[in-house]
């Protein structure tokens, strides 16, 4: 399973919180690329409910990661 920003962005409008099955269904209905559906199907879960994409891809960058703060440098 691999995620990229482009693939993960296809789940931004998903109905969070959601189960694996709900996310797969959303991806299919929204016309997400096959890679997104395959990545979701590879998740090993036991009926777990996911609150956000970060639960699936812990390295998902937050909006703060994209803002440059001049005071820090």
Domain ranges of the chain: 5-57
Work out the mean pLDDT of the chain and round it to a whole number. 86
Put simply, whether the predicted model's pTM sits higher than 0.95 gets the answer: no
pLDDT digits (tens, 9 = 90+) for 6-15: 898 899 899 9
* CA–CA separation, 20 and 43 (whole Å): 8
Q: Do residues 44 and 19 lie in contact, with contact meaning Cβ atoms separated by under 8 Å?
A: no
Give the list of residues 6+ apart from residue 54 with CB closer than 8 angstroms, or none. Answer: 60, 62
* CA–CA separation, 12 and 10 (whole Å): 6
Q: In terms of C-beta density within 10 A (0-12 exposed, 13-18 middle, 19 or more buried), how is residue 46 classed? A: exposed
């Amino acid at each position: 399973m691999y995620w990229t920003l482009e693939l993960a962005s296809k789940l931004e409008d998903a109905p969070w919180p959601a189960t694996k099955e709900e996310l797969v269904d959303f991806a299919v209905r929204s016309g997400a690329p096959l890679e997104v559906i395959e990545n979701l199907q590879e998740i090993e879960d036991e009926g777990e409910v996911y609150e956000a994409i970060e639960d699936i891809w812990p390295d998902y960058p937050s909006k703060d990661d994209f803002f440059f703060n001049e005071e820090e440098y």
